[in-house]
């Protein structure tokens, strides 16, 4: 492994466990004795607690990390409402600049041995808002995959284990590979206490996704359990 390593974590959809999976990855590398930090460059859905606007995903990544970074490095673009980033950017009348995110990642690399950069939504979620030079219905180019390609780092796919996950997972994995990215592994995250035919679905996904299964993440009803769960992932990623 290089002294400075960055992984990009994406998912098959929103609310499928990207953050909890990223937090587990961070803790695995921390346990291996490395300086590790998690970044969420684009986040939406903040709540006011006291005088601060807080986001649960960012809190989870920060708690799991053992490297302290300025908030503006951990999260470059923050949108208060839980909406898609291109909508949040439109409503805030701003543009998401990928170069600004890349600069934040470069600054974080100076303090950490390993970084996990969590995406937003799925692989094709738009980041750019409306192209003001054209009709209002036209979206400017740029999505989560564009950011991952700009960073040019290995990709980890989080699959929410639920009905319909096979189609979503296979299509997303295929697109990641077709986009020329290095898919180094995937995570099976249980989004509910039980899933019909879980093992059969897991077996099918293991055969169809062109990357190794890094770990399975059980369903946690309790936040404390979720935040303390640790699994040995570091050796598997090192071997990829």
Q: Which of 18, 35, 40, 150 is catalytic?
A: 40
Q: At what angle do helices 165-178 and 198-208 cross, to 10 degrees?
A: 20
φ, ψ dihedrals at 204, nearest 5°: -65, -45
Distance between CA atoms of 187 and 213, rounded to whole angstroms? 6
Contact between 11 and 157 under an 8 Å Cβ cutoff? The reply is yes
Tokens of 90: 């439109």
Based on the residue annotation, tell me whether 40 is a catalytic residue of this protein.
yes
Q: C-alpha distances in angstroms, 59 versus 24, 56, 66, 71, 96?
A: 14, 5, 13, 10, 22
Output the 3-class SS for 86-109: HHHHHHHCCCCCHHHHHHHHHHHH
Q: At what angle do helices 56-64 and 18-31 cross, to 10 degrees?
A: 10
Q: Provide the annotated active-site residues.
A: 40
């Amino acid at each position: 492994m290089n002294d400075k390593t960055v992984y990009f974590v994406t998912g098959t959809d929103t609310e499928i466990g990207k953050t909890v999976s990223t937090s587990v990855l961070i803790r695995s590398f921390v346990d291996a004795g490395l300086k590790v930090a998690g970044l969420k460059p684009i986040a939406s859905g903040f709540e006011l607690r006291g005088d601060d606007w807080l986001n649960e995903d960012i809190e989870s990544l920060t708690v799991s990390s053992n490297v302290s970074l300025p908030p503006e490095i951990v999260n470059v673009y923050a949108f208060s409402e839980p909406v898609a980033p291109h909508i949040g950017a439109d409503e805030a009348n701003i543009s998401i600049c990928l170069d600004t995110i890349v600069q934040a990642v470069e600054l974080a690399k100076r303090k950490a041995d390993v970084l996990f950069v969590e995406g937003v939504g799925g692989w094709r979620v738009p980041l750019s808002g409306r192209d003001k030079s054209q009709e209002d219905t036209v979206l400017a180019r740029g999505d989560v995959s564009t950011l991952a390609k700009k960073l040019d780092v290995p990709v980890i796919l989080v699959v929410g284990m639920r009905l319909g996950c096979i189609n979503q997972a296979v299509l997303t994995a295929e697109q990641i590979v077709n986009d020329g990215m290095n898919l180094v592994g995937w995570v099976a995250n249980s989004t509910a206490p039980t899933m019909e035919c879980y093992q059969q679905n897991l077996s099918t996904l293991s055969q169809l996704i062109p990357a190794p299964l890094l770990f399975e993440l059980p369903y946690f009803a309790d936040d404390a359990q979720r935040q303390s769960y640790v699994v040995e992932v570091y050796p598997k990623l090192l071997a990829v």
